[in-house]
Structure 1
Amino acid sequence: METMQLLVTVITTILALLIIPIPLKQIQAEGYGIFSLFRKPRFFYKRTAMLFVTSLLFVGLYFTGRRFSYSLVFSATYFAFYALFSFVSVCAVISGKVKNPPVYTNRLTRLYVFSGLLVILSGVVALCLMHDHRFLLYAVCAPCAAVFATAIANAILNPFERLNNRRYVQKTKKELAGNDCLIKIAITGSFGKTTVKNVLFSMMSERYETVKTEKNFNTPLGIAKSAKNVSAATRAFIAEMGARRRGDIKILCDVVRPQYAIITGVTGQHLETFKTLDNVYAEKFSVLNYIPEDGFCIVNRRGIEREIDLSNNAFFVGGTGDFAYADEIKINSNGSNFCLYLDGKKYAAETRLLGRHNVDDIVLAAAMAKKLGVDERDIIRAIKNLKPVPHRLELIRNGRISIIDDTYNGNPVGAKRALEVLREFDGRRVVVTPGLVELGKREKEENEILGKEIANVANLALIIGRNGEYIRKGLIDNGFPEENALFFKKLSDAERFFPDLFSPNDAVLFLNDLPDELN
C-alpha cells in the first residue's frame, strides 16, 4: 500500500503541475490581484469544469465500489483507471488552442515555482497523514486543488512582489527626475496611444536620441522596465500611460514627471472599472494637473466629443486653423496622401498607415515634434517611412485575399475607424469579430450599434461568442441579410469554415481581440 501511495503522489503531483499554467494566465491577465483568479467565473467554466466533474465522478465511483469490494486490487485498479482518465482530461485542457498564452516573466516564474511547491507539500502531507481511502480521495481532488494552491501562492507572494515592484519603480522615478536634460512626454487617451507613441518616436528620433516605452507597456512597472534603456545620451523619453481606474494617471505621472503630454481622445473604454464616461474624461484630462507651467499638452480635437475648457498650457490640434491639422486627405487601401499644416505652413505628406484616424494620430505626433524643434522635412520623411503596428489595422496580403488585422483590442471609436478602412477595399467585404467588451452596462447597446455599422459596410459577418446576439440584432435591424450573419460559439469553430467562406479578392477585417476566457 505504501508503494502505491508513493506512486499516487508522484502521478498526482505531475498532473497538478501541468494544470498550474491555466490559473497562472488568468492571474497575470488580471494584474496579479489577490482575487484576480475569481474575477471572471467563465474562466472556471471553460478551463477547469472538466477537472471538477472528473473529481466528483471518481469520488462517487470510489464509494460505490467500496460497498461491494475493498482490497489492494480494487484500490490499484481504481487509481490506475483514474490516473489514465485524468491524464487524458488534463492533456485535453492544456492542449487547447490558447490565443494569448501566459508570458513567463520573472514574477510569473516565481509564482509557478511557489505554486508547485505548495502542491508538492500538500502531497507530502497527505502521504504522511492520510491512509487507505482518505488518501485516494485526496489524490482524486488534488488536480482541482492545484488551482486553489495557485491562488494561495499568489496571495502569499503578492505583498512581497508589490514591495519589490515599488522599489524598482521608485528607483526609476529618481533616475528620471535627476536627468535634467531629458525631454519627457506622456501619451494618454482611450485609443491610439501606441500608434501616436510610435509615430512620435520616429519623428523625434530624426533629431534626438529617443527612448519609448516598449510594446504596450503603460503601467508603472512597464514604464520602469522601459526606462532602463534611458542612457546619458538619451534626450527624449516617450511614455505611454494607460488608465483603468481613477488615480492611475496620477501614479504614472508621479513616476515620469512629464513636461509635455498628448491626449489622443476619449471614449467609453473600460467603463466596467470607470463606471461613467465623466470619470473617463476626468481621468484622462487629469494629466494636465502634472504638466509644469513651461510645458504644454496637445489634445486631439477630433477625439473629444464634448466641450472642454483647456488650461493655458494646453491646446487643440486637428481642426482647420489649429496649430496642426490635415487637409485634402485621399485614403485608399494602400494608405493615405494628405496636406499637413504645421504652424500655418503646408506640406505634402504620404503614409502607408491605413485609415483616416491614422492621419489624426500623425497630426498629433507632428504637432509635438514641431513644438520640440524637429525640422519639418524630417517630420515628413518620418511620416513616409512609418510602418504599421502589428495587429493594429495591419494589412496582410494572403494570396488573393486582403486581411486587415485589427485584433489587438477594441473600443467603439476604434471599431468605427476599422470599418471605415474596410470600406476603402474593392470586392466582397467580410468582418470577423467577437464585438466589444469591458463596456459595463453599455456593452449590449454598443454591440447593437456595432452591428448596425457593420451592416453599412460588410457583405458577410462572422460573429463570435457571447455578444453575438446583440451584434446580430443590430445587423438585422439595419437590413443586413440574415443568411449572411453567421454565428459561431468559438473562434476555432469559425476557422474551420474559412476556406469555404472566403473567396479571391475578399477583404477580411478581423476586428477586436478575442480573450481566451471568451473563446
Structure 2
Amino acid sequence: MNLQLDFIIDAVKGLLLSGTCAAINSVSTDSRRITPGSLFVALKGEHFDGHDFLAPAIAAGASAVLVSSRDINLPAECQAAVILVDDTLMALQNLAAQYRQLFSLPVIAVTGSIGKTTTKDILADCLASRYNTLKTQGNFNNEIGLPITLLNLQPAHQAAVLEMGMRAPGEIRHLASLLAPDYAIITNVEPVHLETMGSLENIARAKCEVLEFIKDGFVLLNGDSELLLRAAGHFACRKYLFGFMEGNDIQIKSLVNDGSGIQVRLKLFDREEDFYLPLPVSQLAYNLAAAAGMAHLLGVESDAIRTSLQNFRPGGNRMNMVQLADGGVLIDDSYNANPVSVMAALEACQQMSRGRKKIAVLGDMLELGSYEKEGHFQVGQKAAEVGIDILVTVGPLAQYYREGALGQGMQESCTHHFDSREAALAWLKANVSGADVILIKASRGMQLDKLAQDLFS
C-alpha cells in the first residue's frame, strides 16, 4: 500500500486538522499493531474508544490518525496528519471501498449460514496454486473486518476471497457494496441468527443481497436448498448450482467417510473427478464442492485442486484434531455452533471412534430465537442416535440437549449437566482419559475453547 494523504482525505470526506505525511503504507484500528507509516483509525464502540489510544499509536509510528472529535489529546511533538470525520467507522469503510476500486482482479464473496470460513479457506488454498491470493484472516467478516481485509490488498495480489457475515437484514448488501465482488458463493440457509432474522425465508433473502452486485461474473448456490433457489430467482446474474441433487452443475455423486476424511466424487459440469479432504465430517462435502467448483471455473487444474484439498487444515477451534497421549482424540470444534453443525460434528465423533469411548461436551447454541428449545432437543436426540457414551452439557439451554437424549433412549447415568464451564472442566478432568474421543462444541459466547485448552494442559 502506498496511499497519498489527498486520496485518503477525499475518500473519507475528511478535514485535515493538523500535521502532514508523505504516504500511508498500512491501516489499523488497533494501536498495538501500528508500525511506522500506518494510518490509525480511532473507532468508537460500546465499551471502548480508540481516541484513548492516539498517543500510543503515534508513539508507535502512525503517520496519520482518523478521528471523529476535535477534543483529543495528542503528544506535544505530534507531526502526524490528524484527519477529522463525522464517523470513523463509516470513514474506514469508505476508504476501503475507494481502495478496492484501484484493483482489477477476481474478487469472490463467500457467505451462508454455516461453512463460510471453511469454504473460504479451502477456496483460497485452491486458488493459491495459480494466483497470489488474499483471503479473510480468521472471521474478519463484519463491518470492521471486511474493510480491514480489503485494505490489505497489494499490487501483487491476483485474486481475493473474502467472507461476509451478517446478523440482520441489509448487512450483506452493505458489505457487498464495499467489496464489489465479481463472484459469490452462498453455502446454505440454516437456522442461524433466527433471533434477529425471524425466519429462514428472511435469512435466504438476506444472503441473496450479494447477488445485487454480481454483474459480469456468476454465483455458486447450494442447489439442494429450495429456500435459497427461490430467493435467488429474482436476480438476473449467472447461477451455477452445487449439491447432491440431480441437475446441479457441480454434483456430489458419491461420498465415503472413512473416519479420517471424506472421499468425494464430483461431477464438475461435463466430467467427474475424485477428491479427498482429510476431515471426517460428511457435511463438508458441500464446502468441498463449492470451493472446487469455483476454483475449476476460475481456471485451476483438477490436480492442483486435489493437492490443495489433501493438504487442507482448518483454522483454530474448527474441527481441530488433537491426538491424545493414550491414543484418543480431542476434537476442538468450539468456535461456534448451530443445530446443523453440531449434528455434523456428532457424526464425525462417531466416525472417528473406532471402538473408543465417545464423549460429547456441548454448550449452549445462541441466537436461535424461538427455535432454541427445539434445536437443542433435536441435537440431544442426535447424540443418542449416534451412540454418544457420555453427554456433558454446559449452560442454561443445554439442559434441552439432555432432555432430547433421554427421550431418544440414552441412559440418565450417561448424561451430566453443569451450569458453568469451570464445573464441567473439573468433572471432565476427573472422569475422562487420553484414550477417549472427546468432542467439544458450543456457540462462541460459551467460551468452551478455554475448556478445550485446559482439559489436557
| Structure 2 length-normalised TM | 0.76
- The letter of the residue matching 2:93 is V
Which residue of the partner structure matches residue 378 of structure 1? 304
Alpha-carbon displacement from aligned partner over 1:40-69 (angstroms, at most 9, x marks no partner): xxxxxxxxxxxxxxxxxxxxxxxxxxxxxx
- The letter of the residue matching 1:377 is D
1:68-217 → structure 2 map (5 Å cutoff):
110=51, 163-179=87-103, 181-217=104-140
Q: 1:429 to 1:253 in 2, by over 3 A?
A: same
Cα deviation for residue 265 of structure 1 reads 0.4
Which residue of the partner structure matches residue 403 of structure 1? 330
| Of 347, 350, 365, the match for 1:420 | 347
Which residue of the partner structure matches residue 411 of structure 2? 481
Which residue of the partner structure matches residue 471 of structure 1? 401
Which residue of the partner structure matches residue 373 of structure 2? 444
- The letter of the residue matching 1:480 is M
Q: 1:169 to 1:509 in 2, by over 3 A?
A: same
Aligned-residue sequence identity (percent) comes to: 28
Partner Cα separation in structure 1 for residue 100 and residue 211 of structure 2: 19
More strand by share: 2
Partner Cα separation in structure 2 for residue 162 and residue 486 of structure 1: 53
- The letter of the residue matching 1:391 is N
1:395 counterpart SS class:
strand
Cα deviation for residue 499 of structure 1 reads 3.2
Structure 2 unaligned regions, length at least 5? 1-42, 56-70, 73-83, 451-457
Tell me which moved more, 257-266 or 492-501.
Answer: 492-501
Q: Does the CA contact (< 8 Å) of 2:93 and 2:178 recur in 1?
A: yes
| Of 409, 433, 444, the match for 1:503 | 433
Partner Cα separation in structure 2 for residue 178 and residue 362 of structure 1: 31
| Of 356, 370, 384, the match for 1:455 | 384
Q: 1:307 to 1:374 in 2, by over 3 A?
A: closer
Which residue of the partner structure matches residue 433 of structure 1? 362
Q: Does the CA contact (< 8 Å) of 1:435 and 1:450 recur in 2?
A: no
Which residue of the partner structure matches residue 316 of structure 1? 241
Q: Does the CA contact (< 8 Å) of 1:177 and 1:256 recur in 2?
A: no
- The letter of the residue matching 1:416 is M
| Of 315, 338, 348, the match for 1:389 | 315
Q: Does the CA contact (< 8 Å) of 1:265 and 1:304 recur in 2?
A: no
Q: 1:471 to 1:113 in 2, by over 3 A?
A: farther
Partner Cα separation in structure 2 for residue 178 and residue 514 of structure 1: 36
Q: 1:234 to 1:517 in 2, by over 3 A?
A: closer
Partner Cα separation in structure 2 for residue 487 and residue 32 of structure 1: 39
Cα deviation for residue 443 of structure 1 reads 0.8
Q: 1:288 to 1:493 in 2, by over 3 A?
A: same
Q: 1:499 to 1:516 in 2, by over 3 A?
A: closer
Q: Does the CA contact (< 8 Å) of 2:185 and 2:221 recur in 1?
A: yes
- The letter of the residue matching 2:243 is G
Partner Cα separation in structure 1 for residue 445 and residue 86 of structure 2: 26
Cα deviation for residue 301 of structure 1 reads 2.5
1:443 counterpart SS class:
helix
Q: 1:212 to 1:377 in 2, by over 3 A?
A: same
Cα deviation for residue 267 of structure 1 reads 0.8
Alpha-carbon displacement from aligned partner over 1:50-96 (angstroms, at most 9, x marks no partner): xxxxxxxxxxxxxxxxxxxxxxxxxxxxxxxxxxxxxxxxxxxxxxx
Partner Cα separation in structure 2 for residue 462 and residue 222 of structure 1: 34
1:497 counterpart SS class:
helix
Which residue of the partner structure matches residue 286 of structure 1? 209
Q: 1:182 to 1:510 in 2, by over 3 A?
A: same
Partner Cα separation in structure 1 for residue 409 and residue 441 of structure 2: 21
Cα deviation for residue 230 of structure 1 reads 1.2
Alpha-carbon displacement from aligned partner over 1:473-494 (angstroms, at most 9, x marks no partner): 1111111101111011111111
Q: 1:423 to 1:195 in 2, by over 3 A?
A: same
- The letter of the residue matching 1:317 is F
Cα deviation for residue 183 of structure 1 reads 0.7
Q: Does the CA contact (< 8 Å) of 1:354 and 1:393 recur in 2?
A: no
Partner Cα separation in structure 1 for residue 125 and residue 411 of structure 2: 44
2:87 counterpart SS class:
helix
Q: Does the CA contact (< 8 Å) of 1:266 and 1:304 recur in 2?
A: no
Partner Cα separation in structure 1 for residue 375 and residue 226 of structure 2: 18
Aligned length: 374
Which residue of the partner structure matches residue 277 of structure 2? 351
Q: Does the CA contact (< 8 Å) of 1:351 and 1:384 recur in 2?
A: yes
User: Given the alignment of the two structures, is residue 220 of structure 1 paired with residue 150 of structure 2, yes or no?
Assistant: no
Cα deviation for residue 370 of structure 1 reads 1.0
Cα deviation for residue 517 of structure 1 reads 8.7
Q: Does the CA contact (< 8 Å) of 1:259 and 1:296 recur in 2?
A: yes
2:211 counterpart SS class:
helix
1:242-257 → structure 2 map (5 Å cutoff):
242-257=165-180
Partner Cα separation in structure 2 for residue 32 and residue 440 of structure 1: 29
Which residue of the partner structure matches residue 12 of structure 1? none
Q: Does the CA contact (< 8 Å) of 2:221 and 2:240 recur in 1?
A: yes
Q: 1:110 to 1:486 in 2, by over 3 A?
A: farther
Q: Does the CA contact (< 8 Å) of 2:189 and 2:228 recur in 1?
A: no
Alpha-carbon displacement from aligned partner over 1:443-476 (angstroms, at most 9, x marks no partner): 1111111111111121110011111322221111
Tell me which structure has the larger Cα radius of gyration.
1
| Structure 1 length-normalised TM | 0.67
Structure 1 unaligned regions, length at least 5? 1-30, 38-106, 115-155
Alpha-carbon RMSD across the aligned residues, in angstroms, is 2.6
Cα deviation for residue 305 of structure 1 reads 5.8
2:283 counterpart SS class:
helix
